[in-house]
Structure 1
Amino acid sequence: MNRLQFYFKAQTAHGLHSPSIYTLYCEVLNPYLKRELTYSQLKEALTHRYADCNIVEIQSYMDITKIPQNTILLFEKPHSQEKVWNELHSNESVIQTVDLFDLGLLFFKPVCPKQHFYLRKMA
């Protein structure tokens, strides 16, 4: 998927039906997309917000069958490795994904319904 296709598929906070993703978007992800937060600050904010979760960065394919519940994977530039990204987010143990085009988040939180979100910067 190229950036233009992503832009038309992605949404902002308007229309998000998941309260947890809405709050995450408004407080952390949108400031990151607007470059008000650095990548390091994003990781710190996620670590603080999800204190009960492990935050793990990945660069390429990994066997996620061994990933424990309450883990969040950060996958930089998922669309440069489209096949890997599709395999990861379609795995049944991945509960929610957030696609920011340049960064993908994969949630292994069993209390949430399986959903995929495509989010872009809100003005």
Structure 2
Amino acid sequence: MNRLQFYFKAQTAHGLHSPSIYSLYCEVLNPYLKGQLSYSQLKEALANRYSDCTIMEIQSYKDIAKIPQNTILLFEKPHSQEKIWNEIHSHEGVIQTVDLFDLGILFLKPICPKQHFYLRKMD
């Protein structure tokens, strides 16, 4: 998917029906997309927000079955490795995904319903 296709598919906070993703978007993800937070600040904010979770960065395919629940995976440039991204985010262990085009966030939290979000910055 190219950036233009992504832009038309993605939404801002106005279309979100998940309260947890809505607050994550408003408080952390939109500031990151606007350049107000660096990548390391984003990781720190996620670690603070989800203190019961492990944050892992991945660059290539990982066997999701071997990753413990309550893990958040950060996958940089998911659309440059679309085959791997699609395999990982469609795995049954991945409950929620957030696609920011340049960064994919995958939640392995069993208490959430399975959902996929495409988000872009809100002006």
User: Normalising by the residue count of structure 2, what TM-score does the alignment of the two structures yield?
Assistant: 0.99
Q: Distance in 2 between matches of 1:36 and 1:8?
A: 23
Moved more, 62-71 or 34-43: 62-71
2:45 alignment counterpart: 45
1:24 alignment counterpart: 24
**Which AA in structure 1 matches 2:96?**
Q
Q: Distance in 1 between matches of 2:87 and 2:41?
A: 28
2:121 alignment counterpart: 121
Q: Is residue 3 of structure 1 aligned with residue 3 of structure 2?
A: yes
Q: Is residue 100 of structure 1 aligned with residue 96 of structure 2?
A: no
**Which AA in structure 1 matches 2:12?**
T
Q: Distance in 2 between matches of 1:67 and 1:59?
A: 15
Moved more, 59-68 or 29-38: 59-68
Q: Distance in 2 between matches of 1:44 and 1:6?
A: 26
User: Normalising by the residue count of structure 1, what TM-score does the alignment of the two structures yield?
Assistant: 0.99
Give the share of equivalent positions with the same residue, in percent: 85
In the TM superposition, structure 1's runs of 4+ consecutive aligned residues that sit over 4 Å from their partners are none
Question: What RMSD in Å do the two structures reach over aligned CA positions?
Answer: 0.4
The number of residues matched between the two structures is 123
- Where structure 2 has 5 or more consecutive residues not aligned to the other structure, the ranges are none
* SS of the residue 1:14 aligns to: helix
Q: Distance in 2 between matches of 1:46 and 1:95?
A: 16
**Which AA in structure 2 matches 1:122?**
M
